[in-house]
Amino acid sequence: MRLRRRWLRVLILSIALLFAILVMSYISTLIAHAVSARRVSKMLDALEAIRIGDSASSLERAVPQCTLNQMEEPYHCEIFAGWGRWQWQGVLAHIPSEHYLPAIWKLRRLGIQPWYISVDASVRDGRIRNLHLFAFVVAGRKSLGAEWELNETLPQRFIESSTTADERRTSISFYSITSLPGGKGIHIAATPDSEPRESQARHINQACLRSFNRCEELCQLLPDAISVLDDRGWHWADCVPRTSDR
């Protein structure tokens, strides 16, 4: 009888310890996501303020997670939500494909918001000549993408015979996301000649990076791009144009 009581006590303590570990792991993961979202929000604000010709040191200040090892070489930095790369590419990569999407939806409902951001830049003579940002956010049952770049002049790949003066100043286009989960994204190529509203269209809604967010559509990720697209006669596939705001 005494042995049975002892084993029962050990079992109860083991279950309680396991539960406490799970709760602490969950809380620490939520804290890690909150911290990473706050840090990347500051980074996004700083990157949007950078202009062509700014010193390379301004890029290092904007993205403290990565440093410029050599000023004359292409710069590349990746930032992942929460605990970082291992959480998404290490742990989730081992989930079988048939269970991957259900696992992502459950994590998001628990406040573990998946997102990824990469920053690329070209530096010459200690000055920034090109800046490119890609943001990927899982929202609802699909993925949302926001991609923008800043160049000295609009790259030739965006120019066609039918390209208008507005499009030569700031090019805006849509693209499809084919990785799981699939979705849509918008690409903005800005230049020093871009109007203030067009430059502001690059602004990413940082609330979409936080836990328990209600960011479900592309227009919620890039809200300041709506009026620019409306002016050009382009409408979002997932949002009602805000014509009354003009």
Residue 246: per-residue pLDDT: 30
Q: What is the pLDDT of residue 154?
A: 92
pLDDT number for residue 209: 93
User: What is the model's pTM?
Assistant: 0.83
Per-residue pLDDT of the chain (246 residues; tens, 9 = 90+): 666 777 888 888 999 999 999 999 889 989 988 999 999 999 999 999 999 999 988 988 898 877 665 445 678 888 888 877 656 666 666 777 778 788 888 888 889 888 999 999 988 888 899 999 999 998 878 899 999 999 999 998 888 877 888 898 999 998 999 887 889 999 999 999 999 999 999 999 999 999 998 888 888 999 999 889 888 887 665 554 443 333
Residue-by-residue DSSP string for the chain? -HHHHHHHHHHHHHHHHHHHHHHHHHHHHHHHHHHHHHHHHHHHHHHHH--TT-BHHHHHHH-TTS--SSTTSPEEEEEESTT-HIIIIIIGGGS-HHHHHHHHHHHHHTT---EEEEEEEEEETTEEEEEEEEEEEEETTEEEEEEEEEESS--GGG--TT--HHHHHSEEEEEEE-SSSPEEEEEEEE-TT--HHHHHTT---GGGGSTT----SHHHHSGGGHHHHHHTT---SSS---GGG-
